[in-house]
Amino acid sequence: MHRRLVLAGGALLALRPAWAHHGWSSFDPTRPIYLEGRVARVSWRNPHAEFDLELTPGLKLPADLASRNVPPQTAPVDGPQVLKGAQLPTRLDRLWHVELAPLTRMDAWKVAPLTVGQPVAVVGYTFAEQKGDPLLRVEFLLLGGLAYGLRSAPA
Protein backbone atom coordinates (compact mmCIF):
# COMPACT_ATOMS: atom_id res chain seq x y z
CA MET A 1 0.00 0.00 0.00
CA HIS A 2 2.81 2.42 0.91
CA ARG A 3 4.42 1.76 -2.49
CA ARG A 4 1.17 2.70 -4.29
CA LEU A 5 0.95 5.96 -2.36
CA VAL A 6 4.52 6.84 -3.27
CA LEU A 7 3.87 6.06 -6.94
CA ALA A 8 0.63 8.08 -6.92
CA GLY A 9 2.39 10.99 -5.21
CA GLY A 10 5.17 10.88 -7.78
CA ALA A 11 2.64 10.92 -10.60
CA LEU A 12 0.93 13.97 -9.09
CA LEU A 13 4.26 15.78 -8.74
CA ALA A 14 5.01 15.05 -12.39
CA LEU A 15 1.72 16.71 -13.34
CA ARG A 16 2.27 19.76 -11.12
CA PRO A 17 3.77 22.01 -13.83
CA ALA A 18 0.75 21.35 -16.04
CA TRP A 19 -1.57 22.66 -13.33
CA ALA A 20 0.30 25.95 -13.25
CA HIS A 21 0.38 26.26 -17.03
CA HIS A 22 -2.53 28.14 -18.60
CA GLY A 23 -4.41 27.02 -21.70
CA TRP A 24 -6.25 29.02 -24.31
CA SER A 25 -9.26 29.77 -22.08
CA SER A 26 -7.47 32.65 -20.30
CA PHE A 27 -7.06 34.57 -23.56
CA ASP A 28 -9.53 36.83 -25.36
CA PRO A 29 -10.23 35.22 -28.79
CA THR A 30 -12.49 38.12 -29.83
CA ARG A 31 -9.56 40.54 -30.13
CA PRO A 32 -6.65 39.26 -32.24
CA ILE A 33 -3.54 41.40 -31.78
CA TYR A 34 -0.82 42.03 -34.36
CA LEU A 35 2.77 42.52 -33.23
CA GLU A 36 6.02 42.76 -35.14
CA GLY A 37 9.56 43.51 -34.23
CA ARG A 38 12.82 41.77 -33.40
CA VAL A 39 13.47 38.81 -31.15
CA ALA A 40 15.11 39.99 -27.92
CA ARG A 41 15.35 36.66 -26.07
CA VAL A 42 14.43 33.05 -26.96
CA SER A 43 13.55 29.98 -24.91
CA TRP A 44 13.05 27.05 -27.29
CA ARG A 45 11.75 24.38 -24.89
CA ASN A 46 8.56 22.72 -23.71
CA PRO A 47 5.82 23.18 -22.62
CA HIS A 48 6.06 25.63 -25.56
CA ALA A 49 8.64 27.71 -27.35
CA GLU A 50 8.60 31.35 -26.30
CA PHE A 51 10.44 34.58 -26.90
CA ASP A 52 10.52 38.24 -26.02
CA LEU A 53 9.65 40.60 -28.85
CA GLU A 54 10.88 44.19 -29.01
CA LEU A 55 8.24 46.00 -31.03
CA THR A 56 9.05 47.98 -34.13
CA PRO A 57 8.80 51.72 -33.38
CA GLY A 58 5.67 53.21 -34.96
CA LEU A 59 4.05 49.77 -35.32
CA LYS A 60 1.35 49.67 -38.02
CA LEU A 61 -0.90 46.97 -39.40
CA PRO A 62 0.35 45.73 -42.78
CA ALA A 63 -2.05 46.75 -45.55
CA ASP A 64 -2.11 43.16 -46.89
CA LEU A 65 -2.55 41.37 -43.55
CA ALA A 66 -6.22 40.44 -44.13
CA SER A 67 -5.43 38.96 -47.55
CA ARG A 68 -2.47 36.79 -46.57
CA ASN A 69 -2.76 33.07 -47.15
CA VAL A 70 -3.20 30.86 -44.10
CA PRO A 71 -2.80 27.08 -44.00
CA PRO A 72 -6.05 25.21 -44.79
CA GLN A 73 -5.94 23.33 -41.48
CA THR A 74 -6.62 26.60 -39.64
CA ALA A 75 -10.28 26.40 -40.72
CA PRO A 76 -11.43 25.50 -37.17
CA VAL A 77 -10.23 28.92 -35.95
CA ASP A 78 -11.26 30.72 -39.19
CA GLY A 79 -7.78 31.95 -40.06
CA PRO A 80 -8.83 34.59 -42.62
CA GLN A 81 -11.23 36.18 -40.10
CA VAL A 82 -8.52 36.25 -37.42
CA LEU A 83 -6.16 38.13 -39.75
CA LYS A 84 -8.95 40.43 -40.92
CA GLY A 85 -9.88 41.27 -37.31
CA ALA A 86 -6.30 41.81 -36.13
CA GLN A 87 -5.59 45.13 -34.44
CA LEU A 88 -2.70 46.83 -32.76
CA PRO A 89 -2.33 46.50 -29.00
CA THR A 90 -3.77 49.23 -26.82
CA ARG A 91 -0.89 48.77 -24.37
CA LEU A 92 2.18 50.92 -24.97
CA ASP A 93 4.74 48.30 -23.87
CA ARG A 94 7.77 48.03 -26.17
CA LEU A 95 8.69 44.51 -25.00
CA TRP A 96 6.20 41.62 -25.14
CA HIS A 97 6.51 38.02 -24.01
CA VAL A 98 5.27 35.75 -26.80
CA GLU A 99 4.20 32.11 -26.41
CA LEU A 100 4.40 29.81 -29.42
CA ALA A 101 3.40 26.14 -29.76
CA PRO A 102 4.98 23.03 -28.20
CA LEU A 103 8.25 21.98 -29.81
CA THR A 104 6.69 18.95 -31.48
CA ARG A 105 4.35 21.25 -33.41
CA MET A 106 7.13 23.75 -34.20
CA ASP A 107 9.18 20.82 -35.56
CA ALA A 108 6.21 19.53 -37.59
CA TRP A 109 5.92 22.98 -39.21
CA LYS A 110 9.72 22.91 -39.75
CA VAL A 111 10.14 26.22 -37.94
CA ALA A 112 13.78 26.60 -36.94
CA PRO A 113 14.47 28.04 -33.51
CA LEU A 114 14.25 31.82 -33.59
CA THR A 115 17.41 33.82 -33.01
CA VAL A 116 18.04 37.07 -31.17
CA GLY A 117 17.71 40.01 -33.55
CA GLN A 118 15.54 38.09 -36.04
CA PRO A 119 12.54 40.03 -37.44
CA VAL A 120 9.21 38.35 -36.77
CA ALA A 121 5.49 39.14 -36.82
CA VAL A 122 2.70 37.39 -34.93
CA VAL A 123 -1.06 37.47 -34.54
CA GLY A 124 -2.47 36.15 -31.32
CA TYR A 125 -4.34 36.87 -28.13
CA THR A 126 -3.72 38.64 -24.84
CA PHE A 127 -5.29 37.83 -21.50
CA ALA A 128 -8.92 38.89 -21.33
CA GLU A 129 -8.20 41.27 -18.42
CA GLN A 130 -5.02 42.74 -20.02
CA LYS A 131 -3.43 42.93 -16.56
CA GLY A 132 0.15 42.12 -15.65
CA ASP A 133 3.07 41.86 -18.03
CA PRO A 134 2.36 42.08 -21.76
CA LEU A 135 1.84 38.51 -23.00
CA LEU A 136 0.65 37.26 -26.37
CA ARG A 137 -0.34 33.68 -27.19
CA VAL A 138 0.32 33.15 -30.89
CA GLU A 139 -2.32 31.95 -33.31
CA PHE A 140 -0.24 32.77 -36.42
CA LEU A 141 3.51 33.07 -36.70
CA LEU A 142 4.35 35.20 -39.76
CA LEU A 143 7.89 34.40 -40.78
CA GLY A 144 9.72 34.55 -44.09
CA GLY A 145 6.53 35.29 -46.05
CA LEU A 146 4.71 32.26 -44.58
CA ALA A 147 1.92 32.00 -42.03
CA TYR A 148 2.15 29.10 -39.58
CA GLY A 149 -1.09 28.20 -37.76
CA LEU A 150 0.30 27.15 -34.41
CA ARG A 151 -2.83 25.52 -33.00
CA SER A 152 -2.73 22.99 -35.83
CA ALA A 153 -0.16 20.72 -37.44
CA PRO A 154 0.78 20.80 -41.13
CA ALA A 155 -1.48 18.81 -43.46
Burial of residue 22, with CB atoms counted within 10 A of its CB: 0-12 exposed, 13-18 middle, 19 or more buried: exposed
Q: pLDDT per residue over 3-29, tens digit each?
A: 443 344 444 333 333 333 456 567 788
Task: Give the whole-angstrom CA distance, residue 9 versus residue 4.
Answer: 8
Domain extent listing, the chain: 23-149
What is residue 26's predicted lDDT score, i.e. its pLDDT? Answer: 72
pTM summary value = 0.82
23-149 topology per CATH: OB fold (Dihydrolipoamide Acetyltransferase, E2P) (2.40.50)
> Average of pLDDT values for 98-107?
95
The total number of residues shown for the chain amounts to 155
Express as a percent the part of the chain with pLDDT over 70.
83
